[in-house]
Structure 1
Amino acid sequence: MASAFAHVAVAFAMGKSLSSQFHTSRFWWFTMACCLLPDADVLGLMFGIPYEHMLGHRGLTHSIAFAMLLGLVVPRLAAPTIRYGTRRYWLFAMYFFLVTLSHGFLDALTDGGFGIAFFAPFDSTRYFFPWRPVSVSPIGISAFVSYEGMRVLLSELVWIGIPVVLWLIVLKVTGRTAK
């Protein structure tokens, strides 16, 4: 998997792409929750759910269907005054869908694991992207204070961090982000 740092960086850049009128603290909390929630499936390992099972790591919670479900539910939680079915609701729904889906996309760029069950629960096949430049992240914070952890962070800096910073610069230069 890509590290939590990479997932949050991408979600932050996605959020900055929206008008600053949406940038409430509640919006940011739900943005971070949606980008990290797919990895809640690692808890299944403690309950004996095998990694390769549809409910295992990188299974159902990394799927397009899961991202769609979250995208439909979260707008009302992130902005309680938003009315269902309005243009603003659908903008938020699409945003939270894409933020959640970005998790699986980043993981599909890594060089480890069994792949992502993008089409779960309808198909349990696991997929990677053909190009996988990001080193797979160790699980646990302490693993980052090692040579391997530093190698992963460097990989993410190059393949995820630099594009995110470039995107934020483009937003700033074009005046598309809050001051």
Structure 2
Amino acid sequence: MPTVFSHPAPMLALAAIMGGRVSSRMLLFGVLCAVLPDADVIGFRFGISYADAFGHRGFSHSLAFALLMGCVGFGTAPLLLRGSRLMGFFIGFLAVSSHILLDAMTNGGLGVAAFWPFDQTRYFCGWRPIRVSPFGLKALLSERGLAVMLSELRWIWAPCLAVIAAALSFRKKGIRGTRRRPPSR
């Protein structure tokens, strides 16, 4: 899995693309949905094994869970998230889906149960450039943790920051390009 620091990056890029149409509350919801699937590691403390359907990268890393979080966004958008129901669904679903994709692009673990409950198979992408993150803060602060962070900078943050920069640049040019000069007389 990528670290908790990198899972929000696609949501930040999406918010930049969408400009002012995403409220800060909606963005926060997206960031929370992007990191929420990894809360499944709590199951280790209760004896749930990694490979179990409710273990790490199981149910919470499925499109069914992405749909569930989309429905949460749909239901809470007008009251809590300050946005449309469709936007709430879109943000919740895409945030979890981006988490699934990033985890499937790592070079370790058991893969993601993307099609749970219909298929218990754990899947990876054919291209897996992201180094899998170790569990625990001590391991993250090791040499291996540094290699993971550098991998995430290259394969997650750099593309997302490029999208953010492009979105901001286009928006700035678009604003300049739409100004009208007063008619000359």
Does TM, normalized by the shorter one, top 0.5?
A: yes
Which residue identity is paired with 1:46? R
Deviation at residue 81 of structure 1 after TM alignment: 6.8
Deviation at residue 121 of structure 1 after TM alignment: 1.2
Q: How much identity, in percent, do the aligned residues show?
A: 41
Aligned to 2:146: 150
**In structure 2, what is the Cα distance between the partners aligned to 1:81 and 1:161?**
29
Aligned to 1:11: 11
Deviation at residue 138 of structure 1 after TM alignment: 1.2
Residue among 102, 114, 118 paired with 2:114: 118
Aligned to 2:65: 66
Q: What do residues 125-155 of structure 1 show as CA deviations (whole Å, max 9, x unaligned)?
A: 0000001000001122232221100000001
The verdict on how the C-alpha distance between 1:93 and 1:117 changes in structure 2, with shifts beyond 3 A counting, is: same
Contact 1:58 1:116 in 2 (8 A): yes
**In structure 1, what is the Cα distance between the partners aligned to 2:53 and 2:28?**
28
The verdict on how the C-alpha distance between 1:49 and 1:171 changes in structure 2, with shifts beyond 3 A counting, is: same
Aligned to 1:95: 91
Which residue identity is paired with 1:28? L
**In structure 1, what is the Cα distance between the partners aligned to 2:132 and 2:30?**
23
Contact 1:82 1:89 in 2 (8 A): no
Q: Which segment drifts farther, 1-10 or 139-148? A: 139-148
Which residue identity is paired with 1:71? G
Q: What do residues 29-70 of structure 1 show as CA deviations (whole Å, max 9, x unaligned)?
A: 211210011011111111111101110000000000100111
Aligned to 1:174: 170
**Larger-gyration structure (1/2):** 2
**In structure 2, what is the Cα distance between the partners aligned to 1:143 and 1:12?**
27
Aligned to 2:55: 56
- Partner SS, residue 40 of structure 1: helix
- Partner SS, residue 53 of structure 1: coil
**In structure 1, what is the Cα distance between the partners aligned to 2:68 and 2:45?**
25
How many residues matched? Answer: 173
The verdict on how the C-alpha distance between 1:150 and 1:28 changes in structure 2, with shifts beyond 3 A counting, is: same
**In structure 2, what is the Cα distance between the partners aligned to 1:79 and 1:145?**
41
Q: What do residues 4-53 of structure 1 show as CA deviations (whole Å, max 9, x unaligned)?
A: 111022221122222314222x2232112100110111111111111011
Aligned to 2:2: 2
Contact 1:15 1:31 in 2 (8 A): no
**In structure 1, what is the Cα distance between the partners aligned to 2:6 and 2:122?**
21
Normalising by structure 2, what TM-score? 0.86
Contact 1:76 1:82 in 2 (8 A): no
Gaps of 5+ in 2: 176-185
Paired residues for 1:35-54 under 5 Å? 35-54=34-53
Which residue identity is paired with 2:8? V
Paired residues for 1:129-144 under 5 Å? 129-144=125-140
